[in-house]
Amino acid sequence: MTTAAATTIKARQRPGDRIFSSATVISGSLILAVLAAVAIFLLVESLPAFVAGPDDFNGDITNFWSYVGPLVFGTIYSAVLALLMAVPVAIGIALFISHFAPRKLAQSLGYLVDLLAAVPSVVFGLWGIGVLAPLVQPFYTTIVDWFGWFPPLAGPASGTGRTIFTVSIVLAVMILPIITAICREIFLQTPLLHEEAALALGATRWEMIRMAVLPFGLPGIISASMLGLGRALGETMAVAMVLSPSPEVIFQLLTAQNSNTIAANIALNFPEAHGVGVNILLATGLVLFVVTLLVNMLARVIINSRKAFSGAN
């Protein structure tokens, strides 16, 4: 096609096409502008926190990095634990809905999963502190008695059940519908020819899923997991309501003192913060922003590296 012909075709575009094209460009540029504005705001407001002295912090904390370190640890620790619990269950539910359940039952389960995603986080927090924590506390005592020799399960066990492991269970329930819904849609997109070919070669239902469905859906599973991880990293109210925080790095899962998370720490301390204290909290928000960005970038790298082996292309 010559340059003149391409110019003629472009000139003949309908007004609706031009409006739609401009709207998409503006929308894409707007999200980048908002992201840049948030990053610049956090960076500018965080500068005083980076040079804050020991008098601006409570306890034995001497600088910002010793303050934010335990918060980063608690944030990642609880989110990863939640992801480890939620992903296998979500994949199982998605496979049951997409390949095993009768049509009517699958539709009903799909609606229930989607409905679970609409429950406010404060409700999950109330459930965690009022129902889950008292329910699991006796099990924590038994686990410490039997497996206390393993450092993460060392005691003493919390008397209230408000531990980082309880928080991880709550977070796992919260991110379960997101991961399940995405995995379900990905599994339903598996080419029927791949499934029928595996069954024709004598594969069982499980072997067909292992050879055809899971490889095809692997990039989608990773994307769903990272989306759930992002939700868990930024969760605030449920963590603030359930967790018994401590400004330390604590690996034990079942003790009364636990490392706090960045989002919960901001929610708990922001109402009483003033002066440099506000900048310190905003600086922790900047750290959470960077952590979430790095997680998404890592997910994109993993997906691109596995794309050639997914069967999707």
Amino acid 309: pLDDT: 46
Amino acid 83: pLDDT: 93
CATH of domain 71-307: 1.10.3720.10
CB 259 within 8 A of CB 68: no
Amino acid 9: pLDDT: 52
Calpha distance 265→8 (Å, rounded): 59
Q: What is the tens place of the pLDDT at every residue in 93-128?
A: 999 998 888 888 888 888 888 888 888 888 998 998
Calpha distance 65→67 (Å, rounded): 5
Calpha distance 258→249 (Å, rounded): 8
Query: By CB neighbour count within 10 A (0-12 exposed, 13-18 middle, 19+ buried), where does 202 fall?
Result: exposed
In 3D space, the residue among 108, 88, 92 whose CA is nearest the CA of residue 100 turns out to be: 92
Calpha distance 261→267 (Å, rounded): 10
CB 241 within 8 A of CB 161: no
Backbone angles phi, psi at 28, to 5 degrees: -65, -40
Across the chain, which has 313 residues, the per-10-residue mean pLDDT values are: 54 73 86 89 86 74 83 91 93 89 84 84 89 90 88 84 90 91 88 84 85 86 88 86 83 86 87 83 90 83 64 44
Amino acid 5: pLDDT: 53
3-state secondary structure 107-144: HHHHHHHHHHCCCCHHHHHHHHHHHHHHHHHHHHHHHH
Can you list the pairs that 294-301 forms with residues at least 24 positions away whose Cβ atoms lie under 8 Å? Answer: 295/226, 295/229, 295/230, 295/233, 296/226, 296/230, 298/226, 299/222, 299/223, 299/225, 299/226
Can you list the pairs that 255-258 forms with residues at least 24 positions away whose Cβ atoms lie under 8 Å? Answer: 255/154, 255/155, 255/156, 255/157, 255/158, 255/163, 256/156, 256/158, 256/159, 256/160, 256/162, 256/163, 258/74, 258/163, 258/164, 258/167
The distance from CA 190 to its chain's CA centroid, rounded to whole angstroms, is 25
Q: What is the tens place of the pLDDT at every residue in 5-34?
A: 555 555 566 777 788 888 888 888 898 899
Amino acid 107: pLDDT: 84
Structure-token pair, residue 39? 């990053």
Amino acid 312: pLDDT: 43
CB 183 within 8 A of CB 96: no
Q: What is the pTM of this model?
A: 0.85
Q: What count of residues does the chain have?
A: 313
